[in-house]
Amino acid sequence: MTYPLAIASVAITLTITPLSSYARSAVEEPPADTAQDTIQSSAVKTTPFAANTSYVVCFTPGQDCEGLIVQEINHAQKSILLQAYVFTSTTIAKALTQAKQRGVDVRAILDKSQRTGKYTGATFLRHAGIPLMIDEHPAIAHSKVLVFDQQSVLTGSFNFTKSAQERNAENLIIIKGDSGLVRAYTENWNRRWKASVSY
């Protein structure tokens, strides 16, 4: 489509080519035997929250999000599933270790950068007996997720680091009481666990 466009008394012709014209040439299909994850278009849908669902939000700077995470870890009674991109918070690592010691099933998936990171908590968690996997296939395993007792989900931009609490502008949300949401996050966690390798 061509449109005349007048700017500052200069006539310009603007040609707009529909994006769909480029779709075939710009997007290459992956080989059928690729190890990369495939996109399932049917997986993206809008689902209303369950009745009696509640949430807590936290923002930095200004609020103690690390303290909120530790509080939720301390309240867990049965299980904690963790996904993290960067994990260097000693405070959170100690809380997870204490949860493990009181009988909570704690398991963690970390990004491959945490294998060799200078201050990574991966070694700390492993020495505490917490089963730990490295999600090495994606370019970045960027999720920041905790699932508590199959009842609540914590997620957001907040990395499990001292910097996230003390230096960055971050957010997190804890959603409680929505079994469908918890199931979705747990199923995704299980998929990433199966696709990961032992630390």
Question: Which residues have a catalytic role annotated?
Answer: 142, 144, 149
- Copy the structure tokens of residue 30: 């992956």
Query: How far is residue 26's CA from residue 99's CA, in Å, rounded to a whole number?
Result: 49
* E strand intervals along 46-97: 54-60, 79-84
Q: Phi and psi for 172 in degrees, rounded to 5?
A: -150, 160
Q: How far apart are the first and last CA of the chain?
A: 55
Query: How far is residue 143's CA from residue 105's CA, in Å, rounded to a whole number?
Result: 20
Report CA-CA distances (Å) from 64 to 30, 67, 71, 170: 44, 5, 11, 11
Return the DSSP state at 191.
H
Q: Which residue is it, tokens 């696709």? A: 195
Q: Which residue is it, tokens 């005349």? A: 4
What residues contact 194, with CB distance under 8 A and at least 6 apart? none
